[in-house]
Structure 1
Amino acid sequence: MGTLSQIGRTAWVLSWLLLCLQAAGLRADTLQASEVTRGSLVSRDEEGRMSEMPLLDTQVKMTVTGPILRAEVTQTFSNPGSNWTEALYLFPLPNEAAVDHMQLIIGDRVVAGEIKVKEEAKATYEAAKTEGKQAALVEQDRPNLFHTSVANIPPGGEVTVRIEYQQTLVWQEGAFSLRFPLAITPRYSGLIESAAREVTREVNLAQGWQILPGERETRMVNGAEEQDKQGKVAIEVALQPGFPLGYINSSSHDVTRQEEETRQQVVSVLIDEADEYKDFVLSWAPVASAQPSAAFFSEQTEGGDNYGLLMLMPPQDLATKVFDREVTFVIDTSGSMGGTSIKAAQAALIAGIQGLSAGDTFNVIEFNSDTSSLYRAPVAANARNKQQAINFIEHLSAGGGTEMWPALQAALVDSDDNQHLRQVIFITDGSVSYEKELFELINDRLGDARLYTVGIGSAPNSFFMEEAAVAGRGTYRYIASAGEAQEQMQALFDRLAKPVLANISISGAGVHEVMPSRVPDLYAGEPLALAMKLESGAQVEISGRIGDAVWSETVNIQSTNDSHGISVDWAQRAVQDWRRRYLHGESETRIREAIIELGLKYHLVTPYTSMVAVDRTPVRPLSETLDSQAVPTAKPHGLQLQMAQGATGYQWTLMIGMAMLLAAGGLLIAVQRKSEVSA
């Protein structure tokens, strides 16, 4: 009887494990929707439950005047439930966007936001929420990712959130361009190694891919049936470039173009299909005879302060010496690169290999959960080695985690080669959540190398791409599809083959607080862009070195004060400048104090200042509770979720369940055999 009892208990355990395994499978099905992309309204009740809130539409209106872009992003949501709702609204913006206005519109109520220190704004919002008042809070999670909380949305009502931001555009390679993100590739939270070589890992098996693992409880809904619930996105761009247009082009979407009586060009696009949720890119250029070499814009604020924005294209043909290079290619093959991204990355890497010159050396590093190098050391860029590398690249596939730290360590090793210019070309979608630690690693280990980032896919993490290039004293480029790879990589190699403008210094009479305070190296086709406080009749002295030639230029500027937004441009550049100073030893306390001062004075959402809006009249009876709802959000074009999710752990849950099931099965067999022997 004892043995039968053991068998019965084991069978019960086995049944229980089967149920657990089935539950794990159901959880895995749920987690196939656990990704976050473009703007979403997410909310939860006291128990953390979430349900669906439809997104009705999104309107993006941009006005470009010269180099200044002013944008309104308006999204309207519907609350079909019978309960009051608190909602969380996630949305990406360009990395350089300066968010300075917000409105919460519920019915006939329009509540404007005001800037406060982050903790104070949060406390104000929480108090209003508790008191039944309608309120909104806008916070910055990353320079390209913002988060809005909306309290006390009425049953059966609609809510509109309007965000305003400003962005300064610069011309590169003879054209202006803007990039507006419509999706966010989910981030991976993985291995982080500190300077003390302490290894930490945060793994949440219950959540799967998140936009900010461990920070925001957010998910992406997947499936064709959910795509039907997505609202339309209407984008309109009004162009007043200030010069005769040679062309207007979008490499990402089919656009409609018309010219108004004022000669203003209006470009519009309506996005309502699943494969259109990718970064919207628009470029425009002057006719050849109107190519600018310098531009200056100025503004005088109500307080009497003067601000200037100077753009200058340095000479491109002073240096003649060409250097042989040691090029280390790093390719991301993690799960988030699944789908069209890995194909684009392979095409970009192959184009890069083919673009090497006879005197160059190279290596290829692949990383996902593990890091491996094709060669132990860089090899000559001869035909045999190139073909061997191409064969290797063609067999790569996406899967696993985005463990970027070991890959950067391997790429930025010290080298005894003094004959070659060391360049690291990093090909990735940047889907990591620990960017700051990686920037520190790049800054600490860079040495005499230069790091160049190539953003892959329809919605790369532009914050990582651009900031990693700044820390690596390099430049960046985006490749959305395999069809663009050859052209874009050729353009990158053409730029890297030419000496940079380095050791740049700025001085002059009547010029103060030039931003950025540390001017980065400039590559061919890149302009020098400086924001400054100034006096009337200022003179700017600029000097630097291009290869073996010394260059200097004096620019006499006269303030006309007929532009708008130049002060906001200066303030946003100052915030970015202070945010980067931890790389140069500035204390976190001093950085925080300086950014708070800028945010409060110029009404900017920053890492330490937030925007809060409170309607003073309570509308929700305190006896009513807040329900939990969420808007289904579209996934980035070309992303294969099953690959991405394998990196974060839900498959581990199934594997653990299977292991437990097999162990229980083994135990049952052992008990049965013991019973047979006893008999």
Structure 2
Amino acid sequence: MKTVCTLLVLTLTILVGTEAFATGALFVKDIRSTNYQAAPIRFYDAKAIIDDQVATTSIDETFTNTLSVTAEATYIFPLPEGAVITELAYWMNGVKYIGSVKEKKAAQQAYNDKIRRLLDPALLQYAGDNVFKLNIAPINPNTDVRFQITYTELLKYEFGKVNYKFLLNATSMSPKPLERVSLTIDAYSQRNFLSVTSPSHGNFTAHSITKVNDKYYKLAFGDEHYLPTSDYVMQFETARDGVDMNVLTYIGAPQDSLGDGFFAAWITPPDNMNNQYALPRSIVFTADVSSSMDGKRIVALKEALNVFINELKPTDKFNIVVFSTGVVRMKPDVVDATEANLIEARQFVDKLVALGLTNINDALNTSLGMTFSDSTTNSIVFMTDGMPSWGEMDSLKILANVKAMNTKKIRIFSFGIGEDVNKYLLTNLAAQNNGYTAYIQQEDSIAVVIANHFKKITLPALQTPAITYGGLQTYDVYPIILPDLFFGSQVLQLGRYKNGGTYPVTLTGKIRGNDINQQQDVVFPTIVGGNKSVSRLWAQLKINELLDQITKFGERKELVDQIIALSIKFGILTKYTALYADPDDKSTDVIEETTTVENATIQLSAPAPNPSSGTVSIQFTVKTNVAGSIVKVSVYDAFGNNIATIANAYFESGTHTLQWNEVNANGEYLQSGVYFIHIESNGATLIQKIIIIH
């Protein structure tokens, strides 16, 4: 058991640490062994529905157990940041089993119990950093296993465009090219689309974009014998006229027991709202040049710094601080962005090399010690991989030191360079200092990313934003406190409401002390229907709020109980819950390819012994309400293949027992695995499962 835990923990550590290597991997092992090996993906088909900025994606995936023995599979995969899993399903013998959310310890215990009995449950758990682990067992030798995962996410708006990213690269660890890959997207908008593109796959002949009408587009990508090398990105822009207020709602049917309505409100202010309040800027660029930044990262860092320098205006002040084991300043303090100083800055950047350890604490203290004026927009642009290795290395203490040092309330913007970054430190550093975090990936155009963000971080933000909903009765609205609204961004809020109708929705705030007020009438429906994903996304935000309280006040039982209750009610995974699919729980079964019905004339008992390793006794009863019946008894494998016929004859009423010596139609002994006894009579089929062990 120790070997298994070591392997899985190591795998999870690699995946949690980096999106690049969190590319999705399936490992299989002999169910009695501890040695895992990668298994190939056969089919990977995904469908996405985008409704304004809510996307629901369903992935239908088929793997192959390449072992010649019964196996357990462990699938580790990432989802986009903030995505909420809403359904887990898998197929055995044509039957679709749908998972339900359970308390994590109970789900794990149930899964372990089934494994010991060689039954076929599935367990999906959250591993942290939006990485998930799915276990399915047992899987027959040299056979396929098919499962489906559905998730919902809120799509981010930035600089006038909305991006949908599908982690297609989550299949790149398959040992063989995929036999088939496909992705279809149906995109809908309340406003007309101005543009719909795919920056990642738009030039592929295997990709298509079809305009159905001004508010509906279809996109498709597909290929055979294909091994992806990058994620799929879709980007769209919709028409706006001044302030843009979009609302999606959901009201559940009475039987759903969800109560009042749910809403998600997006407010996008006019692009020119910030411009009239622009001020000269004082910016300190603080850059990591430690050994961990060597290679592609230092190249990306230099390019980013040069783009920043090129964006400076003569009215700005700036300085560059670089750090590794020690801290070096280009100038003792901020200087004017004169041509001479810009030339010196470029020369300073050109000479940078990656060497030494990572002293983040001293670098931030040095940067905060610069002279910042009340007459300028003041900020620190912090660029690193975020892995402290010298000086103060405790992330919590670094954050506390920065908070104590930042008496002038300088905004800090964190830029993660490369794939493997300390997201916790970078995210909290920005959030606690009125900034935000961005990540520059290897495939990104650094010049474009930096140019966009430079305007965003240097124009004054809308401070203390708030949304009011007129006479609409709202409650449980999240986030409770809205973050500052930067140029090119939008504000999002989810909540519950009691009374529908048309109400004035108002965004208020201040830009450099000036009152801002944006208002628009919005309709909140009163009838059942809408987008159900809104309710789950609301529940996720409420769960996040409860998790924040646990971080502050400790793991109190009442907080944990609320999280578990919300998780189960709305079908959301958390660190306290898991998705569990149990073939013995008939409430989770959905009969698909095989028709299985109760028969009033015949009854099939459970085969014995089960599991079996020799001869199987199959007992059935022709009921007394019929004189007799033609009965066909067959054996099927887990994917519905008829491998043997045991009997096909007339049987009189009464109980009958057949003996089967576990051979197929060719007289060959079956391999260990899961099989199904089918009994057909009077147009109906009954099924019993049998485990064969050799």
User: Normalising by the residue count of structure 1, what TM-score does the alignment of the two structures yield?
Assistant: 0.70
In the alignment, what sits opposite 1:497? 458
Q: Which amino acid aligns with 2:252?
A: T
From 523, 527, 548, the counterpart of 1:558: 523
Matches within 5 A, 1:154-169: 154-169=140-155
Per-residue CA deviations over 1:26-70 (Å, capped at 9, x if unaligned) read xxxxx9xx9943111124566642223212232221111222211
Mapped partners of 1:325, 1:274: distance in 2:
49
2:549 is equivalent to residue 587 of structure 1: no
Larger Rg, first or second structure (1 or 2) = 2
1:596, 1:608 within 8 Å by CA — same for their partners in 2? yes
2:194 is equivalent to residue 246 of structure 1: yes
Task: Give the Å deviation of 1:170.
Answer: 4.4
Q: From the superposition, tell whether residues 596 and 271 of structure 1 become closer, same or farther in structure 2 (CA, over 3 Å).
A: farther
Mapped partners of 2:267, 2:179: distance in 1:
42
Mapped partners of 2:87, 2:553: distance in 1:
30
Task: Give the Å deviation of 1:134.
Answer: 0.9
Mapped partners of 2:166, 2:362: distance in 1:
29
Mapped partners of 2:209, 2:226: distance in 1:
26
Task: Give the Å deviation of 1:355.
Answer: 2.1
- What stretches of structure 2 of length at least 5 have no aligned partner? 1-13, 586-605, 615-694
From 493, 496, 504, the counterpart of 1:530: 493
From 489, 504, 509, the counterpart of 1:544: 509
In the alignment, what sits opposite 2:184? 236
From 570, 576, 580, the counterpart of 1:608: 576
2:82 is equivalent to residue 82 of structure 1: no
Q: Quick check: which one's strand share is greater? A: 2
Percent identity (aligned): 20
Q: After superposing the two structures, state which structure 1 stretch, 471-480 or 303-312, moved more.
A: 471-480
Q: From the superposition, tell whether residues 276 and 168 of structure 1 become closer, same or farther in structure 2 (CA, over 3 Å).
A: same
2:371 is equivalent to residue 427 of structure 1: no
Mapped partners of 1:261, 1:544: distance in 2:
39
2:232 is equivalent to residue 305 of structure 1: no
Task: Give the Å deviation of 1:439.
Answer: 7.2
Q: After superposing the two structures, state which structure 1 stretch, 539-548 or 272-281, moved more.
A: 272-281
In the alignment, what sits opposite 1:640? none
2:236 is equivalent to residue 284 of structure 1: yes
Q: Which amino acid aligns with 2:524?
A: S
Task: Give the Å deviation of 1:139.
Answer: 1.2
1:334, 1:400 within 8 Å by CA — same for their partners in 2? yes
In the alignment, what sits opposite 1:637? none
Q: Quick check: which one's helix share is greater? A: 1
Task: Give the Å deviation of 1:328.
Answer: 3.1
Mapped partners of 1:563, 1:75: distance in 2:
29
1:338, 1:399 within 8 Å by CA — same for their partners in 2? no
User: Normalising by the residue count of structure 2, what TM-score does the alignment of the two structures yield?
Assistant: 0.69
Task: Give the Å deviation of 1:248.
Answer: 1.6
Instruction: Determine which structure has greater relative contact order: mean sequence separation of CA pairs < 8 Å that are 6+ residues apart, divided by chain length.
Output: 1
Q: After superposing the two structures, state which structure 1 stretch, 106-115 or 403-412, moved more.
A: 403-412
Matches within 5 A, 1:329-368: 329-331=286-288, 335=292, 338-339=295-296, 341-358=297-314, 359-367=316-324
Mapped partners of 2:397, 2:534: distance in 1:
31
Report SS of the residue matched to 2:186.
Answer: strand
Mapped partners of 2:367, 2:554: distance in 1:
26
2:220 is equivalent to residue 268 of structure 1: yes
- What stretches of structure 1 of length at least 5 have no aligned partner? 1-30, 185-218, 625-679
2:85 is equivalent to residue 117 of structure 1: no
Q: From the superposition, tell whether residues 309 and 482 of structure 1 become closer, same or farther in structure 2 (CA, over 3 Å).
A: closer
From 161, 165, 168, the counterpart of 1:179: 165
Q: From the superposition, tell whether residues 519 and 85 of structure 1 become closer, same or farther in structure 2 (CA, over 3 Å).
A: same
1:61, 1:73 within 8 Å by CA — same for their partners in 2? yes
Per-residue CA deviations over 1:445-502 (Å, capped at 9, x if unaligned) read 3441323233545797888876664444323445445872222211111112211111
Task: Give the Å deviation of 1:101.
Answer: 0.5
Q: From the superposition, tell whether residues 55 and 599 of structure 1 become closer, same or farther in structure 2 (CA, over 3 Å).
A: same
Per-residue CA deviations over 1:89-127 (Å, capped at 9, x if unaligned) read 111111121111101224423211100122222222111
Report SS of the residue matched to 2:277.
Answer: coil
Mapped partners of 1:142, 1:73: distance in 2:
20
2:414, 2:430 within 8 Å by CA — same for their partners in 1? yes
From 598, 615, 635, the counterpart of 2:566: 598
From 93, 97, 103, the counterpart of 2:89: 103
Per-residue CA deviations over 1:161-186 (Å, capped at 9, x if unaligned) read 211011122433222211223458xx
Report SS of the residue matched to 1:577.
Answer: helix
In the alignment, what sits opposite 2:684? none
Q: From the superposition, tell whether residues 432 and 373 of structure 1 become closer, same or farther in structure 2 (CA, over 3 Å).
A: closer
Per-residue CA deviations over 1:498-555 (Å, capped at 9, x if unaligned) read 1111112345541111111121111012111111111224665543211231123555
Matches within 5 A, 1:368-407: 370=325, 372-375=327-330, 377-380=332-335, 381-396=337-352, 406=361
From 130, 133, 149, the counterpart of 2:119: 133
Q: Which amino acid aligns with 2:157?
A: W
